[in-house]
Amino acid sequence: MPYTTVIPAGNPKVAAPQGACGRVPVPWRLPGKWSHIELRESCTPHRSQSCIWRAQSDRASGKLLIVQFRSDVDRTEAAEIFQKLGVPFVDDWFPGQPDLPLRFAIDTSGMPLPVPAAVAVVTVLPIALPSPYQDLVLTDFIGVGGQGEVWAAESPDFPSIRLAVKFYTAGVEENWSGLAALCDEAQAGLEIVHQHVVHTRKFLDLQAHAGCGWHAAGFVMEQLEISLARVLEDCRLSGVQLPQSIAVDLCRHLVQGVDALHHDWKRVHRDLKPANILLRFAQGVKFYYASSLPAVLERATALISDLGFICRAGEVPPVTLGNDGYKAPELFPPDRDQPVDPSQDLWAL
């Protein structure tokens, strides 16, 4: 489980005070024939434009459900929903049915939802990835960002490591010609090992399953839930200022990681930002709480994560990234197809 506060049943609280998910007292049951599904906890921050919830079902004891409300999909015909989402549309769901789908879409049109959404995609966990990655099992949903979704996972190939799988959800499936090159680069990232870079354990080429509810590509890495973006936001909300010594240490870690990428592997990260800087806390720190700042950051280590978009210096990138405020100005029209340069990472730093 990620570092979050789980809201117990029978203790209604407001899970998402603002933003896309609105105000929802939880636990909260879907209406009508889907009332066996109970929303328990928001998976997305209040500022997120996604609406994703952890849930449970009276019909599936011990199973964790991830419910993703899709306001970008119209409730038309089931065949059209399958074509767009790659998951079957079901009128009802009973565990024990033959060929029971573990990912499916349901009709939520007309439901009094926080965000009007005609369709919701439900994922029943745990769920194994398709072949040849069936040994990798998704166990929980961690979060969503501008470029992808992150899920907790486990695998017998890595029995002592808590894993995270990041699926690309933007900028790649619209550019299939560049996806092959992206796969090649991400495979090359497997060789990068450094104390301040999160090691990519495996690259997932899921193009053959992209029409079955799976994103076209992803990668597996160590699960480190707390990002620099989370810490900075918690500091802002609580009025805490990081001591200079801690800030300098974290910056030193980032510079060392970037320097290794540039000089040892001749690669440019291209997507440096606080959300892609993860923290490994000192031994003995079991939980992260905003109220424990800044003490919890003593002897913490900053690691650069998300190597899926790295490129060799001097090459034209196969996939163009959007402007998130950390990209160098020369990366956007009319010069967005220029070769990758290490100075672009320095701008982000």
**Placement of tokens 């210096």 in the chain:** 313
Query: Could you tell me where the DSSP H helices lie in the chain?
Result: 78-85, 176-188, 228-238, 244-263, 343-348
Query: Could you tell me where the DSSP H helices lie in 15-54?
Result: none
Contact between 254 and 304 under an 8 Å Cβ cutoff? The reply is yes
Q: What is the mean pLDDT of residues 203-226?
A: 85
pLDDT > 70 in the chain, percent:
82
Residue 175 has pLDDT above 80, yes or no: no
Residue 146 has pLDDT above 70, yes or no: no
Cα–Cα–Cα angle for 77, 82, 83, nearest 5°? Answer: 95
What is the C-alpha to C-alpha distance for residues 62 and 193, in angstroms, rounded to an integer?
38
Predicted local confidence at residue 14, as pLDDT: 34
Predicted local confidence at residue 176, as pLDDT: 52
Q: Residue 114's Cα: distance from chain center in Å?
A: 22
Q: pLDDT tens for residues 332-345?
A: 766 567 889 999 99
Pick 65 or 306 by higher pLDDT: 65
Tell me the pTM: 0.79
DSSP states along 192-249: --BTTBPPEEEEEE-GGGGGGT--SEEEEEE----BHHHHHHHHHHHT----HHHHHH
Contact between 169 and 154 under an 8 Å Cβ cutoff? The reply is no
Q: pLDDT tens for residues 153-169?
A: 999 999 999 999 988 77
Cis amide linkage into residue 27, ω under 30° from 0: yes
Predicted local confidence at residue 260, as pLDDT: 97
What is the C-alpha to C-alpha distance for residues 167 and 219, in angstroms, rounded to an integer?
7
Q: What is the mean pLDDT of residues 87-101?
A: 81
- Domains observed in the chain: 13-222 (3.30.200.20), 228-348 (1.10.510.10)
**CB count, 10 Å around CB of 14?**
13
Q: What is the mean pLDDT of residues 290-319?
A: 90
